[in-house]
Amino acid sequence: MASKQLKTFTREHVAQHNKQDDLWIIIDAQVYDLSRFAGMHPGGLAALTHEDVAGQDATDQFFALHRFEVLTKSQYKRLIIGTIEGEESALHPPSTGDLSKVPYAEPTWLSDGYYSPYFQEARIMKPFFSVREFTDEYLVPDAQAREEDGKRPSQSVLDKMAELEIHAMRLGPGKHLQGRKLMGGIVKPEAFDYFHELVVMQEMVRCAARGYGDGLLGGKIIGLPPVLNFGSQELKDRIVPDILAAKKFICLAISEAHAGSDVMGLQTTAVKSEDGKEWIINGSKKWITNGTFADYFTVGCKTEDGFTVILVERGPGVETRQIKTSYSTTAGTAFITLDNVRAPVGNTLGEEGGGIFVMLSNFNHERWVMCCASARAQRGIVEECLKWTSQRKAFGKPLNSLATVRAKLAAMIQRSESVQNWLENITYQMCNMSYKQQASKLAGQIAFLKSYSTSSAQETARDAVQIFGGRGITKTGMGRLIEHYHRTIPFDALLGGAEDVLSDLGVRQALRSMPHDAKL
């Protein structure tokens, strides 16, 4: 279909169309005929017939009240009838893969004129851009639609992720990447390191939908490593390929109504069948991410020898139901009941009674992943606040002309930058330390960073709501991302260890290495 021929008008001409039934306005050098739309305008007729708006350039008024995305919708694009003679639009919505020009909206390694010791052009930039493009093109639209209807992420998106091997990359560097074409072959499996993983994690967070992010098989990031590291070869060969291809789903099922961090207090039991070939499992699990749609469950059980981790397959006796949390049902958060569920003894992960070791072995990576996500999500809020305080006027001046608002912006920028910089330093250590060194030297650092990230995030969420006012608690319109962030952020402060527990872990780790001869 041929595109509509746009006319050019002078500003004087537009000014003559200033009545309710003949109503034109200018936004960013484009002329909109609102005559028929005015009566349906969600912000009311009066806003449009006001003398400062009808027939006038209403660019500032528009951007003080609407997100750019309103203008990009086809039903509103149709209202454009022409442009202003000799003028061109100066404002453009971001395109797929674009970098933001807003200060602090990108980490320094992506900001013009800055340098980084960690990210070098060839090694990181190419994979980075394809993940960003993937996020913009596939994740953002699906994320926003699924947050709306509460359904699981679309299988087409999970399939596309599988095609690019994103599911495998989200487990970090390792043998599971062998023979895979990462992002279509841009990164060689043996070259893939924790910085690549950081980029994947941080770019995906840009879809700004917390529950959806977990729905993208977050359960696999914590549920599959015990299988990869402690499962038998037969078990791995049988289940891992389908999981990394997003044909089957796995989750980690440890916490219960009875106990969370206190794994020794768990009440789910596993006893051997008379012939010793099977485990018989009874109990329940709570707050299990991806549980509603999982095919496999990495379950923590009380056994004769203590605590044992067992891979349970969905089948008779396994029931899952949705728990409604403060974030969307997209994540598939479940309450699970296990009634006389049978699992082959060959599904035991690690030693019988050695479950603590199985769990501990993944904590550092799991918490580091959470830090990646938290740092990027905070940065997104900084960008929202910098834009809003520049385009929103109060008492005739932009909000950012108020010192109190600037103080809040300062604090959120400082927090976001410090979290990212600390994260990059830890990531560098991870790239250079053996697994054993990481376990002894980084557990405290990562615990501190996780605790600091989520407490920073909560302060930033609170400040952002203050800056956005009522819009910060409104699910649509200008503050919708702030509302979402503020509502869902407490979750980050709980998973992977509550803030106080992690801070204390960090100090205890440090005290363990205090030299005896260090005296004041």
- Residue 194's Cα: distance from chain center in Å? 17
Please, which residue, 58 or 270, has the CB nearer to ligand HEM?
Answer: 58
Please, which residue, 313 or 483, has the CB nearer to ligand HEM?
Answer: 483
Q: Closest approach of Cβ 39 to ligand HEM, in Å?
A: 12
Please, which residue, 24 or 119, has the CB nearer to ligand HEM?
Answer: 24
3-state SS, 115-169, equals: CCCCCCHHHHHHHHHHHHHHHHHHHHHHHHHHHHHCCCCCHHHHHHHHHCCHHHH
- The dihedral through the CA atoms of 453, 455, 456, 462 has a sign that is positive
Q: Closest approach of Cβ 105 to ligand HEM, in Å?
A: 21
DSSP-assigned letters across all residues of 248-278: S-EEEE---SS-SS-GGG---EEEE-TTSSE
Q: Closest approach of Cβ 140 to ligand HEM, in Å?
A: 17
- The letter for the amino acid at 370 is M
Q: Closest approach of Cβ 6 to ligand HEM, in Å?
A: 15
Please, which residue, 27 or 370, has the CB nearer to ligand HEM?
Answer: 27
Q: Which two tokens stand for residue 192?
A: 């893939």
The number of C-alpha atoms within 13 Å of 44 and in the hemisphere containing its C-beta is 4
The number of C-alpha atoms within 13 Å of 50 and in the hemisphere containing its C-beta is 11
Please, which residue, 301 or 385, has the CB nearer to ligand HEM?
Answer: 385
User: Strands, E, within 305-384: which ranges?
Assistant: 306-313, 318-322, 334-344, 348-349
Q: Closest approach of Cβ 84 to ligand HEM, in Å?
A: 15
Please, which residue, 56 or 269, has the CB nearer to ligand HEM?
Answer: 56
Separation CA 492–CA 224 (nearest Å): 20
Q: Closest approach of Cβ 148 to ligand HEM, in Å?
A: 13
Q: Closest approach of Cβ 34 to ligand HEM, in Å?
A: 6
How deeply is 176 buried, as exposed, middle or buried, from its count of CB atoms within 10 A (0-12, 13-18, 19+)? buried
Q: Which two tokens stand for residue 152?
A: 């699981």
Please, which residue, 49 or 458, has the CB nearer to ligand HEM?
Answer: 49
Please, which residue, 143 or 312, has the CB nearer to ligand HEM?
Answer: 143
Separation CA 26–CA 6 (nearest Å): 14
Interacting residues with ligand HEM (CB under 6 A)? 25, 27, 32, 34, 41-43, 47-48, 53, 58, 61-62, 65-67, 70, 76, 79, 476-477
Q: Closest approach of Cβ 154 to ligand HEM, in Å?
A: 24
Overall residue count recorded for the chain in this entry? 520
3-state SS, 387-404, equals: HHHHHCEECCEEHHHCHH
Nearest to 294, CA basis, from 271, 266, 277, 314: 314
Backbone angles phi, psi at 120, to 5 degrees: -105, 145
Please, which residue, 285 or 484, has the CB nearer to ligand HEM?
Answer: 484
Separation CA 398–CA 391 (nearest Å): 6
Please, which residue, 56 or 337, has the CB nearer to ligand HEM?
Answer: 56
Cβ-closest position to ligand HEM? 43
Q: Closest approach of Cβ 172 to ligand HEM, in Å?
A: 39
Q: Closest approach of Cβ 41 to ligand HEM, in Å?
A: 5
